[in-house]
Amino acid sequence: MAQITNLGAEKIILGIDPGTRYLGYGLIRITRDKVHVLQYGVLNLTKYTTQGAKFLKIHERVMGIVEEFLPDEIAIESPFFGKNVQSMLKLGRVQGMVMSISFSKSIPITEYEPKKVKQSVTGNGNASKEQVAKMVEIISGIKLDGKLHDATDALGIAICHHFHNKNISSSVKGTQKGWGAFVNENPDRIK
């Protein structure tokens, strides 16, 4: 885990790379459109033997991050459709938990597909984790721990969100997807 002091934040974005074995998180501060890394890390869940224990640890850590840094927005990677349905269901549960935390704290949340994140950060939707990490280093101007790919992916998700809000990436169409966008666009449908 790396940490930099938060002074004079204009906007703080929390990026989450959900997982039931490793959950990556990354916090960035945007000051005059410059990206500053506040903190990043990986929650190692492999030592927990039950899903309940893993979900409790995820909830505690994400809630702790939210309460400590008070992010203005949260960005999360949406589960990709793979061959293993059970893995996809577990990732969906983790994503739902993070969404629930964001809604309970009235923090807007947006989902991004993995290819969209890679395209926004590197210009290539098929970029490797190493390429994403390298571009995150270039964009933020700091050297990151290259072994924490889930964390650098989470920083990439946060940067992707910033780019989409500012319409910086050439691939941006200006639309947001996900439950956060639905809630923001349909406040009368939420009870």
Residues 6+ apart with CB under 8 A from 79: 18, 88, 91, 92, 95
Active site residue 77: yes
Quote the tokens at residue 51: 């899903």
Angle subtended at Cα 163 by Cα 158 and Cα 99, rounded to the nearest 5 degrees: 40
Q: Which of 73, 111, 150, 153 is catalytic?
A: 150
Can you tell me the distance from the alpha carbon of 136 to that of 153, in angstroms, rounded to the nearest whole number?
9
User: 144 vs 41, 51, 88, 134, CA distance in Å?
Assistant: 10, 30, 29, 9
Q: Which of 17, 73, 111, 153 is catalytic?
A: 17
Q: Which of 73, 77, 111, 153 is catalytic?
A: 77
Neighbours of 164 (CB within 10 A): 22
Active site residues: 17, 77, 150
